[in-house]
Amino acid sequence: MRRQIAVVGAGMAAARLTAQLLARDPGAAVTLFGDEAYAPYNRALLADVLTGRLPAGTIGLPSSSAQVRTGVEVVAVDTAARTLELADGSIAGYDTLVFATGSNPVLPPIRNLHCTSNTGEGGELKQGVHAFRTLADCARLAAAVPGARRAVVIGGGILGVSAARALAALGLPVEIVHQAPYLMERHLDEDGGTALHRALDRLGVAVYAENRAKSLHGKDRAEGVTLANGYRLDADLVVLACGARPRVGLARAAGLEVRTGIVVDDGLATSAPDIYAIGDCTEHRGVVHGLSGPAWEQADVLAARLCGAEAAYGGSRIGARLTAGPVEIAAFGDVDPVAGDAHDVIRLADPTRGTYKKLVLRGDRLVGAILVGDLATVGALTHAYERDEPVPADPLHLLIPQGAPQ
């Protein structure tokens, strides 16, 4: 009898794992349990679906011959019996279990975020208030846009910037409220954040950095946002993009070791026999990534191990990329090194064209880079960074496309 591999979750990590498993072992018996109504899809393209640039049906991810059970929630795991209890009361068995449960959006501590006519702060979000993390979120947001007058996006990370850019493309006046001193502070330096701020300003997106949303106005429908400094922004559409937390409740209830995420070793094994975890829900060597790149790398390693190959996950080189729009960004590695560290920094900025480029070098190796507004050389930079290859004697060649005016 074939080994039954069950995957709790049907997101990007689960789809990658399945594709790699079945490429190595076409006869593997793999079942994905996803509580969303959709088969696996690429969340990174949700903004393009929102703008209409891509139809929702085109962002699906291949899951090969795996059985994908959509709209099915796993509510309990019995690690001793090796069974899953589903929301409908049925039981599914497994030989090997993989948690790929992803993460949940963080709801910011804002007063009056929920409908007062329901159960107070624990009720439903006010009408006009949206998360932006799933295809269902995207569909609800798209349906709300035609009747909206102004939008506020709370959070200026990559998801918030992506949402704001999409809403502006749909013709809405948009404002971003962000607590940090500049946008996308996890991936950019201050100059890069400033360049991004200017680029968004040209799109009609206002940015309120170093500000915090304090409360929402309106009884059951959003009418505006008041900032901590007392300033009010009128808005009937509010998008929450305040980050995410690993989805670990099911694993914790099953008795697995959980800190911020589900704790895994270099083989992606959890604290329970024959149970593994990959993607946003994991914590490896004290690090929770929450990005698609590390999730795919983890999926590749686990697929190899489950098929008997020697493989280990030693961590990921982190990067962020926002493309296919009027504001394009790529950043990876150590982009803001500590003063006194042995490094060289090369910057090129052109405020007129709205571009900013930065390289961080240690010796002849590229350890970090930022590109805002011009991604012409991102391929060469990514290649040098990921393969840890020596850079050219004149590193400017990595910032200026061949044939471009200098």
Q: Tokens 């020596």 sit at which residue?
A: 390
Domain with CATH 3.30.390.30 in the chain: 328-398
Mean pLDDT of the chain: 93
| CATH 3.50.50.60 residue ranges for the chain | 4-104+245-306, 107-240
176 Cβ neighbours under 8 A, 6+ residues apart? 152, 153, 154, 155, 156, 160, 161, 164, 183, 200, 205, 206, 207, 208
pLDDT tens track for 121-164: 457 899 999 999 999 999 999 999 999 999 999 999 999 999 99
Q: Residue 122: its pLDDT value, please?
A: 54
Question: Which CATH number describes the domain made up of 107-240?
Answer: 3.50.50.60
Q: What is the pLDDT of residues 89-119, one digit of tens each?
A: 999 999 999 999 999 999 999 999 998 654 4
Around 226, how many Cα atoms within 13 Å sit in the side-chain half-sphere?
A: 12
Q: Which CATH superfamily is domain 328-398 in?
A: FAD/NAD-linked reductase, C-terminal dimerisation domain (3.30.390.30)
pTM, to two decimals: 0.93
Does position 56 have pLDDT exceeding 60, yes or no?
Answer: yes
Q: Which CATH class is domain 4-104+245-306?
A: alpha beta
